Amino acid sequence: MKNILITGGSGFIGSHVVRLFINKYPNYNIVNLDKLTYAGNPENLTDVEDAANYTFVKADINDDKVIFELFEKYKFEGVIHLAAESHVDRSISNPKQFITTNIVGTLNLLNAAKDCWKDNMDGKIFYHISTDEVYGSLGADGYFYEDTPYDPRSPYSASKASSDHIVRAYNHTYGMPVKISNCSNNYGSHQFPEKLLPLMINNIKNSKPLPIYGEGVNVRDWLWVVDHARAIDDVFHKGRVGETYNIGGYNEWKNIDIVHLLCDTMDDKLGREKGTSRGLITFVKDRAGHDMRYAIDATKIKEELGWEPSVTFEQGMNKTIDWYLANEAWMENITSGAYLDYYKNQYINR
C-alpha cells in the first residue's frame, strides 16, 4: 500500500480530494495532515473517516520537526499539498500568518520530502495546489495562461506566488519531481461560509443582508469543487513532472449577477415570492486592492490530460444549494463563536 500525504484535507477543497482518493484508490493509504484551523473541519469527512485506507494526523506544516518525523514514519510516495491560509480578506487584516503557513510551511514540506527521497526520487511526486490569483488581475478581455507572468496583488496571492516559485526552484535546483496547478474560484459543498457563495446561501436562507463589495462588478471564473478534485487526480497521475496546469470552468460571472442568480434560485426552492431575496442585497465597503477579473485558459489540461468540467454551472449550483439547505447542522456548528466576531468586524455598510 502506498502512503500518500494530503495536506489541508479537512478544508473545503482538500476534503473533496481526500474523499475522491479514498474511494477511488483502495491501494493508497491516504494520510490527511491538517492543523484544523478555523477553516479545517473534521465534519467535512464524516462519510469516509472510518475507511480502512484513511489516516488523520493533526499537525501544523509550520512545525518542521513534526513534518520530518511524519515523512520518516510513513515514507510518503506522493504529496498533494493543499494546506494554506486561503481567505484574501483575512490576508489583508493578518498578512503574517499567510507568509508563515503558505511560504514557510510549503518549504518545510519540500525539505522533508527532499530528505526522505534523497536516495531515489523515481516515481515520487510533490504536487502543489495553487491559485489563479498569482497571475494578478485582468481587464475586460484575455485569459491567464500557464506562462502568464506572475503579478500577485494581495498578501494571500503574494504568499501563494512565493510558494509556487519555491516549489519550481526545488525542481530546478534539486531535481525534485514537482507538479503545480493553478485553479480558479471553486464552489460546492463544505466551503467555510466566509467565502462569497456559502455566505450568500446562508444569509439568503436566514433573510440576512447580502454584503456585496463595491459595486459588485468584479468577475470570477467559477468551477465546481468536485471537478477541481477530478483535475487534481488527473494531474497527480497523468500530468508531466515539472509542469504547471491551469484549471478553470470557462464560467465567468460578475459578483452581483451570481448573487442575483442565487437569490432567484433560492426564492424558488424556498417557496418565496420572486424578488424577495434580492431585497437583502447591501453594498458595503470594497475590499482593499480588490482584483477586478480572473479568467483561466484551461486548454492545456484539456488537450494533454483530457480533463474538462463534468457538470454545467446550473447543475453544479443546484447540487450546491441543495447540499447547504439539507445540511443545516453543519452550517450551524461553524457559524458560531469566533465566526460571529469575524463577521461583525468584516462588514461595514457603505
| Number of residues that make up the chain | 350
Q: Is 252 a catalytic residue?
A: no
DSSP reduced 3-state for 71: helix
Nearer to ligand NAD, 164 or 277 (CB): 164
- What does the block give as the cell for 308? 474538462
Shortest Cβ distance from residue 266 to ligand DAU (Å)? 16
- How many residues bind ligand NAD, per CB under 6 A? 29
> Which partner from the list ligand DAU, ligand NAD, none does 281 bind, CB cut-off 5 to 8 Å by kind?
none
Q: Choose among 67, 71, 69, 78: nearest CA to 108.
A: 67
Q: Are 13 and 225 in contact (CB under 8 A)?
A: yes
Of 272, 235, 253, 243, the C-alpha closest to 316 is: 253
Lookup result for grid cell 468584479: 218
Contact 168, 160 (CB under 8 A): no
Q: Binding of ligand DAU at residue 87 (CB under 6 A)?
A: yes
Interface with ligand DAU in residues 109-148 (CB under 6 A): 131-133
**Do residues 76 and 125 make contact, with C-beta atoms less than 8 angstroms apart?**
no
Q: Rounded distance, CA 253 to CA 166, Å? A: 32
- Please pick, from the candidates 19, 90, 114, 160, the single residue that binds ligand NAD as defined by CB under 6 A: 160
Of 106, 110, 121, 229, the C-alpha closest to 160 is: 106
Catalytic residue among 85, 133, 146, 233: 133
CB-nearer residue toward ligand DAU: 177 or 309: 309
Q: Does residue 10 interact with ligand NAD by CB under 6 A?
A: yes
Question: Does residue 36 belong to the site contacting ligand NAD (CB under 6 A)?
Answer: yes
Q: CB under 5 to 8 A by kind: which of ligand DAU, ligand NAD, none does 229 bind? A: none
Out of 196, 201, 226, 298, point to the residue binding ligand DAU (CB under 6 A).
Answer: 196
Q: How far from 69 is each of 6, 84, 172, CA to CA, in Å?
A: 16, 20, 26
Choose among ligand DAU, ligand NAD, none what residue 211 binds, the Cβ cut-off being 5 to 8 Å by kind.
Answer: ligand DAU
**Which one of the listed residues 54, 74, 127, 156 is annotated catalytic?**
156
Whether residue 156 lies in the annotated active site: yes
If the CB atoms of residues 68 and 250 are measured against ligand DAU, the closer one turns out to be 250
Number of C-beta neighbours around residue 299 at 10 A = 12
- Indicate if 339 belongs to the active site: no
- Binding footprint of ligand DAU on the chain (CB under 6 A): 86-88, 131-133, 184-185, 195-196, 199, 211-213, 218, 220, 255, 287, 294
Positions marked active-site: 132-133, 156
